[in-house]
Amino acid sequence: MDFTLTKEQQDIKKAAREFALGEFPERAQEFDRNETFDLDIWRKACELGFVGVFIDEAYGGAGLGFFEHCLITEEFWAVDAGMANAVITATFGAELLGMFGTEEQKKRYLPPLVQGEAITGTAITEPDAGSDVTGAITTALRDGDEYVINGTKMFITNGDIANYLLVFCQTDPDNPDRHRRHAFFIVETDRPGFEATKMHGKLGIRANDTAEISLSNVRVPASNRVGEEGNGFRALMAFFNVTRLHICAMAVGIARAALEESIAHIKKRHQFGAPLASFQANQFKIAEMATKIRAARNLYYEAAWLADSGKMDHALVAMAKWFSGEIAVRCADEALQMHGGYGYIDEYKVQRIYRDAKIVEIYEGTKEIEKVIVARSLLG
């Protein structure tokens, strides 16, 4: 078994690291405090080919795999999670279009994403439907050659800045099979009846836009439906299988950031007449962090490689997602502990790492949901 990255993958990883180090550190604290982001940085990332590398060449992408997308994601998150997410999630939903969209939809909606001309997102979660996605009650009802959409979505990434969103809606509310009630629709955000309200006061990833959206009699043509009616849940699960890999890469990236900050701090900081790095308790923490990060990376590397090879293992993806998320949170906690009081003030990056890390245990499937998936795959 060869764990060595190809020359191309090594170059991608190095270039992503150099870009992030050149663009993120100087403004990361500013964007975190102000809950803003400079889209010129995203456009520059698009120009350099870091955005949407998994999109097929026929639609303007690099035609690489989800594995390469994960490599970029990990490097970006290892520098700053908020800015990284603002760049990386600009194509959030392109995966779904790539798998289930029509040729016409792909040609129209995908190229602008990699050219820095459009931002997308998915609208799935609702105030009363989070982990239970089949409980989503936003409706899309057929009216001639159009669908009329009504409902509210919560915690929508890019909801306030996206050019279009892929919205998860009920098309057959009375179907006794909850898994056959939904479909996805492309909703341009300039359509009458669409309203987005930016959410403020998030714990972390504050540079990344998050919004609540309201859809009141929003009309879209039937050609905006992605896939067939009743196929929404199946499409969503396939979508999550690849996007959860991205979350694994985020988790490993921020865990790395926690480790790097810890090493730098305990080498420099002295207590009791000796550097903190000389104390065995801290040495153990560093060793454990590094080992857990390596294990989490190996999990998601294998899962991503299988996905790109056409051998998707949904249980392995779930394992990688919950384990890497848990490792990220634990490493962030240990890093702040080693910083002591200094870690509690925003002058030190570690406090931002601590706040940013928690989200990887929550979005796109909580760790509890991932464990259910693993258990069911084993128990039958």
- Beta strand pairing call for 182-188 and 270-271: unpaired
CA 365 to mean position of chain CA atoms? 11
Q: What is the dihedral of CA 89, 239, 318, 2, to 10 degrees?
A: -80
Query: Other C-beta atoms within 10 Å of 58: how many?
Result: 12
User: Which residue in the block uniquely carries the two structure tokens 């196929």?
Assistant: 231
End-to-end CA distance of the chain: 29
Distance CA 143, CA 316 (A): 42
Single out the residue of 359, 372, 378, 367 nearest to residue 320, CA to CA.
367
Distance CA 283, CA 287 (A): 6
Single out the residue of 248, 253, 205 nearest to residue 75, CA to CA.
253
User: Which residue in the block uniquely carries the two structure tokens 């006794």?
Assistant: 176
Mutual angle of helices 66-77 and 280-308, in 10-degree steps: 150
Catalytic residue among 212, 229, 364, 370: 364
Q: What is the DSSP string of 114-143?
A: HTTS--EEEE--BTTBSS-GGG---EEEEE
Helix (H, G, I), strand (E, B) or coil at 356: helix
Task: For residue 9, give every residue at least 6 positions away whose Cβ sits within 8 Å of its Cβ, in sequence order, or none.
Answer: 67, 68, 71
Distance CA 117, CA 26 (A): 25
272: left (phi over 0), alpha (psi -120 to 50) or beta: left
Distance CA 55, CA 62 (A): 6
Active-site residue, 8 included: no
Torsion sign, CA atoms 340, 26, 50, 363: positive
Enzyme catalytic residues = 364
